[in-house]
Amino acid sequence: MQPNDPLILVINCGSSSLKFAVFRHSASAPVLSGLAESLGKAEARITFKEGEDIGKGKDGYSVLDFKDHATKVTQSLDGGSHSEALDVLLKNLELRGWLRQIIAIGHRVVHGGERFKESIKIDESVLADVDACSHLAPLHNPANVLGVRTAMAKLPAVPNVAVFDTAFHQSIPPAAYTYALPQRLYREHGVRRYGFHGTSHRYVAEEAVRLLKLDPADHGIVIAHLGNGASATAVLNGKSVDTSMGLTPLEGLVMGTRSGDVDPGIVGYLADTLHLGVDGIMGILNNESGLLGISELSNDCRTLELAARDGHPGAKLALDVFAHRLARYIGALSMSLKRLDAVVFTGGIGENSATVRRMTIERLGALGLRLDEHANTNTIVGKAGRITTSTKPMAAVIPTNEEWMIARDAANVVMVKQGGAV
């Protein structure tokens, strides 16, 4: 890397964690990435992973996902906070001589409500509106705001850019985002479907057109972003037209610890039978359900696959329910398209679990999908490729790169302000 290369710092701040990555303005692989975790606790630590210029793997997979091909160094933060984690990160960048090369800081922001339809430079007005959306994403937005304020305090001369999970889904039509509830709840309280994982879905949608040789102006795909959080989105000619997550990231697919869709009557039933308040019920739905709740073993798909092979009934049921719900959503979302050209798997599970992909595609025979067993088994660890013998529609795996999309948006916002674009 050249001494004067412009750099973009990407920050994804959670309630007790801080993910980060550093990109050159024109490269999709980070030169440095890492994670500060357990912040505020005695075991707080920060891990740095060298990127593209120092020991990056040849497959181009994002080192933020902590694959084995990257060199990493971990140090204790001794109970440190977000501010202290950022101090350590900035000191690391300063020692490398990179601090003065940072031209923008891109922040992942989970919920932007209806105001934010694209990425935007952050000022106090923007930050106030992001904070105002915290009631829609109470586990995410307060942490995102904390990350922005911390970055502003540490590097006051560097512009900060918000990149919203919800922005890509602002093209969804009213028929798809409206709940069958009294409309005053929408008008007065913003109750509607927003959708999430938009940055990932947007990246994969662009890559699908390129890699699968689709017509940019005439195509229809369903993208399944599968990880501890999971969502599926129908994309028509590059625009989101329907998605599985709703007002919050709780709706839709089965997830690691989140229930996804349940009968709303369950809330009242549990309140009566278990004598729980709203917080207690939401705790069950968000933290004790999903793969963990069904299997009574783990929320980790890898653990469940191994256990299922050994005959664990809970693990097998969890995977069956996961694949069944996913296939059902893919079929439903296909109806929001003119036609289905491709189903695309991405995210940690989508990219690496040949088992989940096989189980899902076997349930999609009615759509004409036929699995290529060899291709499916060999498409893992950052590889992209088609995994069906069928071509219309086809299924494929495309690794996501949310951090690069955040970096690209941040650079573009800053460069546009200065009269240029990346």
Catalytic residue numbers, as ranges: 165
The answer to whether residues 382 and 60 touch, using CB atoms and an 8 Å cutoff, is yes
Phi-psi label, residue 87: left if phi above 0, alpha if psi -120 to 50, beta otherwise: alpha
- Beta strands 239-243 and 385-386 are unpaired
Beta partners for 242? 234
Contact 194, 178 (CB under 8 A): no
| Cα-based distances in Å from 386 to 301, 351, 381 | 22, 12, 15
Distance CA 85, CA 99 (A): 16
Q: Work out the number of other CB atoms within 10 angstroms of the CB of residue 154.
A: 14
